Structure 1
């Protein structure tokens, strides 16, 4: 199935090796499809996603929140997710009519 929208996010992984702390930034993607939202490790049926929101910090980065039937999942973002959220709301309203 074709992607409707993509939202980049990242995960910072830290490892302490002896006296040194190392950081890795892993770039990942939230992908919106007609029937689901996928992340690097999870997949949510579109009917299980209630809402999406985000909060930015002063440096422009922030958290993207995925509100689901299984809880709220947060993802660190650098780019404004407004278009992704708008695509979800448009797709979600038509999907809910389709799956009823």
Structure 2
């Protein structure tokens, strides 16, 4: 497995950055076929929290459908942040402590 390195790419919010309450960087690995085999591309993406939604790459989660967020450390610097939603549990690989993101979610959810 070859590593192609990090490619910076951020989630986009339709309403503008000023509405964002919290941001959490996560890592997504994609396997890509090239002429000599498979490569793994590592993407750095953002989970964005506003007053109504958590936005991830290609998907948004209305806060009314998010029951909880949990976090588990799985090794050295890597952990998994879990979004518990009405349509299932969604894992996100994180390298930075998501405590501030989780706290912002809980504060926002408690106002609903």
Query: TM-score when scaled to structure 2?
Result: 0.78
* Residues 21-100 of structure 1 mapped to structure 2, 5 A cutoff: 21-94=38-111, 96=112
Q: Would you say how many aligned residue pairs link Structure 1 and Structure 2?
A: 95
Deviation at 1:57, TM superposition (A): 2.1
Separation in 2 of the partners of 1:79 and 1:32? 16
Deviation at 1:21, TM superposition (A): 3.0
Could you report, residue by residue, the CA deviation over 1:47-77 in whole angstroms, capped at 9, with x for unpaired residues? 1100001111231211110000111001111
Separation in 2 of the partners of 1:4 and 1:84? 9
For the aligned residues, what is the CA RMSD? 1.3
What 5-or-longer segments of structure 1 have no aligned partner?
none
Q: Secondary structure at the match of 2:105?
A: helix
Separation in 2 of the partners of 1:20 and 1:84? 38
What 5-or-longer segments of structure 2 have no aligned partner?
1-14
